[in-house]
Structure 1
Amino acid sequence: MNAAYVFGVAFRLDPTGARADPDRFETTVEIPAVEPGEEGWLFFRDRLWRGEVGDESSARALLGERLGVEVERVAFRELRTDRAYLDALEDAIAADLERFNADDVDEALHKYLGSSIHVRE
């Protein structure tokens, strides 16, 4: 199984005793998705809403910590996944729909990830 949460991130360098040109950068950051059922697998539920970052300041802090820079802007792009991971994710959601306040798996996935699921083989 292989999956990652993909974000677009913008950050600025402000070096001490030096000048950077350009000083603003945009990049794509992938955070590996935890296997469904394992600690941390609810990242999508806790961080996303309808395919968008739920709390931008929290997402900027998380990604800034991972990158070692102060992040100015962050945007969720997609859950990039293989079929095996998506199947396991759907099974884990189906096993506890109440946790997602949804009537079915499709509703739960759409509620948090919107249409931002990209299956790659």
Structure 2
Amino acid sequence: MGPESIASLRPTEPDGASARYVFRIEVRLPSAADGLWTDPDRFETTLYRAADPPGTDGWLFFRDMLWRGELADETHFRRLAADELGWPVESASFSELRTDDDYLAALREAIAADLDRFDPDTVDAVLRTYLGSSIRVR
């Protein structure tokens, strides 16, 4: 991750997001007190992260965290998720960017306006490089 990499999973503008990143995670419940336990002690769930508006702080989350539709560094992501959730995260995978037409258009525009920030040389190539085919428009 570059110098602008994020320190947490928290979006800068979580309210009213028209797009969200979707992840599948496996969480492990910590050991309970003597004589108490859970079974199973792990469960799979969906983690959502609001996508920051393109061009604002945090909008480059996809560039910093994803590569070809997968987590670029699962260990780092699991550590960030565990810090935020307060439970150990055993596994994590990126599912999709779930968005609407307006957000996707704004994202494409922000990428085009700052294309030199990315290795690929077209907006479509940037989206493929980081998100793969994992964009779902509602």
Give the CA deviation at 1:102. Answer: 1.5
Give the whole-Å Cα distance in 2 for the aligned partners of 1:67 and 1:28.
12
Count of residue pairs the alignment pairs up: 120
Give the whole-Å Cα distance in 2 for the aligned partners of 1:35 and 1:65.
24
SS in 2 for 1:65: helix
Give the whole-Å Cα distance in 2 for the aligned partners of 1:53 and 1:5.
12
Higher strand share: 1
Give the whole-Å Cα distance in 1 for the aligned partners of 2:42 and 2:120.
41
TM-score when normalising by structure 2:
0.84
Q: Provide structure 2 residue ranges, at least 5 long, that are not aligned to the other structure.
A: 1-16
Q: Does 1:96 align with 2:114?
A: yes
Identity of aligned residues (%): 56
- Larger relative contact order (CA 8 Å, sep ≥ 6): 1
SS in 2 for 1:73: strand
TM-score when normalising by structure 1:
0.95
Give the whole-Å Cα distance in 2 for the aligned partners of 1:68 and 1:85.
31
Q: Which residue is equivalent to 1:5?
A: 21
RMSD: 1.0
Letter in 2 for 1:114: G
Consecutive aligned runs of 4 or more in structure 1 exceeding 2 Å deviation: none
Structure 1 segment 13-24 matched on structure 2, within 5 A: 13-17=29-33, 18-24=36-42
Structure 1 segment 65-104 matched on structure 2, within 5 A: 65-104=83-122
Q: Does 1:38 align with 2:38?
A: no
